[in-house]
């Protein structure tokens, strides 16, 4: 979904399937383009709209892109791997936005590749998840699925924590199990798992299984960017994970177990 200064853009199509876009903006108006990613075609819409505005003499244009498409492909391991994040960022940079606002961009590579990037703070959303989950620092913990997420978040939240060490089949990428390192209360405890992105939720499923075995009672999950595919994963089955909190950056479907925290845009 794409909005300009809070107004949703709804492109049409010519008979050949190419985009038909109309938008009128006053010449001296400051522009905020808000892009809540749903599909790759939206990059074309953002490009056409931005070039249209620039041709009309408007050059103070900010892009609010909480979820960065291609952020997972932040490195290449084999000669045949296409570095899609790099090329995506080059396309965004070519549009010469005044600022590009992102939320929880998966790795520092994204921030390094984007020009004039500003990271929105993830702290308000995590704090809201902590509040709604009811965990307390005196007896409960935050759990990070790996050491990378612990490093990324733990300094922001003064809370007892532990992290996971994944056991993975490196041929298939499949997670086989998980070990836990860090602080674990002696008495039964509640947990909020925190991470940046989820597809089917396999990592969180194995995390929750292990935490249950180690004495966890109630387990909730906060993930900043949640793909619709999470509804097809094991997390939706049973009560292993009580509740999932996510932002409105990516998820477009609803589920009774999921609480969506709206991303705050200054342009609205």
Name the fold adopted by 2-120. Rossmann fold (3.40.50)
* Residue 70 and residue 195 in contact, taking contact as beta carbons nearer than 8 Å: no
Strand runs labelled E in 89-174: 99-103, 117-120, 141-144, 161-168
Q: Please check the confidence at residue 30 and state whether its pLDDT lies above 60.
A: yes
* Residue 1 pLDDT level (bands cut at 50, 70, 90): very high
pLDDT in tens, 189-243: 999 999 999 999 988 999 999 999 999 999 999 999 999 999 999 999 989 999 9
pLDDT in tens, 34-69: 999 999 999 999 999 999 999 999 999 999 999 999
* Residue 67 and residue 110 in contact, taking contact as beta carbons nearer than 8 Å: no
What CATH architecture is 123-261?
Answer: 3-Layer(aba) Sandwich (3.40)
* Residue 179 and residue 204 in contact, taking contact as beta carbons nearer than 8 Å: no
Residue ranges covered by each domain of the chain: 2-120, 123-261
How far, in Å, CA of 96 to CA of 92, rounded?
A: 7
What pLDDT is attached to residue 267?
A: 43
- Answer yes or no: same fold for 2-120 and 123-261: yes
What pLDDT is attached to residue 147?
A: 86
What pLDDT is attached to residue 174?
A: 65
- DSSP strand pairing (161-168 vs 141-144): parallel
pTM across the whole model: 0.91
What pLDDT is attached to residue 268?
A: 41
pLDDT in tens, 138-191: 999 999 998 889 988 988 888 999 999 877 665 655 666 688 999 899 899 999
pLDDT in tens, 54-108: 999 999 999 999 999 999 999 998 999 999 999 999 999 999 999 999 999 988 9
Residue 241: closest CA among 197, 201, 214, 195: 201
- Ranges 21-30, 109-118, 161-170, 213-222: which has the least confidence: 161-170
SS3 202: helix
Q: HSE (CB half, 13 Å, CA atoms) of 33?
A: 32
What pLDDT is attached to residue 167?
A: 73
What pLDDT is attached to residue 173?
A: 58
């Amino acid at each position: 979904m794409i909005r300009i200064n809070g107004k949703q853009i709804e492109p049409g199509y010519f008979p050949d399937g190419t985009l038909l876009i109309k938008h009128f903006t006053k010449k001296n108006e400051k522009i905020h383009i808000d892009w809540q990613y749903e599909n790759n075609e939206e990059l074309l819409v953002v490009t056409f709209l931005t070039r249209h505005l620039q041709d009309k003499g408007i050059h103070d244009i900010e892009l609010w892109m909480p979820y960065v498409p291609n952020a997972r492909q932040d490195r290449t391991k084999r000669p045949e791997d296409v570095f899609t994040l790099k090329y995506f960022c080059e396309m965004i940079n070519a549009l010469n936005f005044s600022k590009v606002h992102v939320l929880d961009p998966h790795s520092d590579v994204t921030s390094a590749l984007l020009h004039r990037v500003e990271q929105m703070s993830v702290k308000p959303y995590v704090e809201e998840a902590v509040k709604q989950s009811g965990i307390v620092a005196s007896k409960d913990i935050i759990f990070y699925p790996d050491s990378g997420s612990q490093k990324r978040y733990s300094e922001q939240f003064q809370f007892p924590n532990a992290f996971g060490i994944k056991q993975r089949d490196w041929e298939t990428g499949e997670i086989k199990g998980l070990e836990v390192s860090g602080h674990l209360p002696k008495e039964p405890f509640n947990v909020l798992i925190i991470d940046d992105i989820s597809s089917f939720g396999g990592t969180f499923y194995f995390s929750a299984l292990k935490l249950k075995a180690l004495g966890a009672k109630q387990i909730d999950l906060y993930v900043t960017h949640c793909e619709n595919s999470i509804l097809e994963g094991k997390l939706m089955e049973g009560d292993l994970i009580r509740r999932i909190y996510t932002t409105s950056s990516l998820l477009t479907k609803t589920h009774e177990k999921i609480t969506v925290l709206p991303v705050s845009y200054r342009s609205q």
